[in-house]
Amino acid sequence: MSALLFSLTDIHLTLGGDPLFEGASLMVGERARIALVGRNGSGKSTLMKIAAGMVEPDSGERFLHPGSTLRYLRQEPDMAGFETIGDYVRAGLDETGGDYRAENLLEELGLKPDQSPQALSGGEARRAAIAQALAAEPDILLLDEPTNHLDLPVITWLEDKLKSLPSSIVLISHDRRFLENVTNDTVWIDRGATRNTGQGFGTFEAWRDKFLEEEEQAHHKLGRKIVAEEHWMRYGVTARRKRNMRRVGELKDMRKQLRETRRVQGNANFAVQTAGASGKRAIVVENVSKTFSSRKIIDDFSIEIARGDRIGIVGPNGAGKTTLVNMIIGTLAPDEGNVTLGTNLEIVSLDQRRDRLKPEMRVADAINDGTGDWVEINGEKRHVATYLKDFLFGPEQWRQPVTALSGGERGRLALASALAKPSNLLILDEPTNDLDLETLEMLEEQLSAYGGTLLLISHDRQFLDNLVSSVVTTDPETPGKWRRYAGGYDDMVIQRGSAPGTERSDKVEKAKAAQQAPKPKPTQSKTKLSYKEQYALEKLPKEMEAMQAEIAKLKTKLDDPNFFSRDGEGFNKTAKALSALEDKLVSAEEEWLELEMKREEIENS
């Protein structure tokens, strides 16, 4: 068993008259990787603050091993008092390599030390805060929603960085794939207590469902009655998740039929408010382009979206995802090209910043636009309190102002508002931000059953894999070009050969390696190429020509719209073969160029 570095024991805390913790505990050993999970409002962030020493519990013990260091990444970084982000990241570092680590991390995260904290976007501020936490190389890292506002390339970078650290880590995140890839232990906060699964997050949902089922059976055996409201709040998600697993299976079948039927399969009996069916061709986009400040964001993009399509929009921050979606739905005019909207479209959007929620409005007013306390859902008149219960709001909350809600509750309210509007084309921009795991499962279940067309911007890889049948993302070779791939996020990465945005970091790493590589010692100039070099110089052009021809054949094969639906495994094998052949061609071209330069040097000497 690893040595204990940190612990919280028998923590009790009461806030606002209700007990939040009643005997909670947290044990952190060497190289621990702990996922701290629980519903919004269960106290995850509060327990993290107690661990960081920022909140004093009513009772309980906090232990930090003598000599151990601890760093806390809070949800909202505080950079007040710092003139530059370099000053912020270097704050509290020791003199032994601290400055170097800070500078290096900022460079890897695409930030400059002399940037002003006041000029940073949400994503840049989050990256600066991550750099500060990692630069200290603490024994214990407490990370509260580190992936918020990050794009997929940075999330992948952070995953790799955390895996390589010797630090022990306690992690709160709504990104399930991130938790699965990083953690080896899970602590669940439930009804004021903590329960340790002893396993990484990948097994947590099954473990939780089994625990709740066994607990429910025990209650029945004892003849105890469970209040219906509490039953829903505690056990409703389990049933939803099981139904959703069936939906995920149906989604796989639907992906096989992509470009043939182009229709969503499955039960149409769902909770989302829908309008009448749109035309079969929902949207046709032809050769659209858009340029901002001399930078071409979208270059000659075309797509046909059929009724029922489920499309994920993926790319690094700043790539133009929201711009692309706004052009697709006609709210932003392209510089070039045409967009044709189909008939009978009813479009509802959920914006990333949740700007529609005004602080002074009641929670109920966000659902019905202030027209009363009733809302009509699929022809059925329902009280807003009943409708909000589907989104895990208590009956007393519908009268509260929006300002009284937590970040996660605001996210749920924005979803409830959007999904209550009749639509047959739903636009969701980062809908998973600030949502807890239970709400994510509920949202997946509802969207799986949605009968309209779905355009989804998200950095949540598992969410995309569970919901979309195709992905639109940046072209790996040409800036401004976007391409559509059949399947979910993982399918797209296989076909594309890399995750969107990783090409930039790969180039940076290669450039660094080239700069740090030892310079070759000068040698006597040759008077001629060796026989082997001469043979290679003559042979390589023919080989490259053959490779280019084969690459063209593979690309033609992949362009077949029925290939993926006919043979998904063959499609992926072909995509891998194409990627390998393109890498081989690059190596051959580099070798030929090196030999050709050597030949010219000899001839000119």
Residue pair 296/479 in contact by the 8 Å Cβ criterion:
yes
What pLDDT score was predicted for residue 149?
Answer: 83
Length of the chain: 605
Q: Are 63 and 51 in contact (CB under 8 A)?
A: no
Residue 510 confidence (pLDDT): 46
CATH of region 4-202, choose from 3.40.50.300, 1.10.490.10, 3.40.50.10490, 3.30.70.270: 3.40.50.300
518-604 in CATH: which number?
1.10.287.380
pLDDT, residue 146, reads 93
φ, ψ of residue 256 to 5 degrees: the values are: -65, -25
CB contact at 8 A, 422 and 263: no
pLDDT of res. 585: 82
Residue 105 is predicted with a pLDDT of 93
The pLDDT tens digits for 435-494 are 778 778 878 888 888 888 999 999 899 999 999 999 999 988 888 899 999 889 998 998
pTM: 0.68
* DSSP codes joined into one string, 236-283: HHHHHHHHHHHHHHHHHHHHHTTTTT----S----SS-B-S---SEEE
Contact present, 41 and 406 (Cβ < 8 Å): yes
Record the tokens describing residue 95, joined without a space. Answer: 């003199």
Domain residue extents for the chain: 4-202, 518-604
Quick: pLDDT tens for 282-308: 999 999 999 987 888 999 999 999 988
Measure the CA–CA gap between 175 and 479, rounded to whole angstroms: 28
Give residue 353's pLDDT: 57
Q: How far is CA 310 from the centre of its chain?
A: 17
pLDDT of residue 503: 61
Q: For the chain (length 605 residues), average pLDDT per consecutive 10? A: 87 87 95 91 91 95 94 89 92 74 91 89 89 93 91 91 94 93 94 92 89 76 48 51 54 51 30 64 93 88 92 89 91 93 86 69 82 78 83 81 79 82 87 79 82 90 91 88 91 87 53 47 55 78 86 80 75 80 79 74 67
Cβ count near 590 (within 10 Å): 10
| Per-residue model confidence (pLDDT) at position 71 | 94
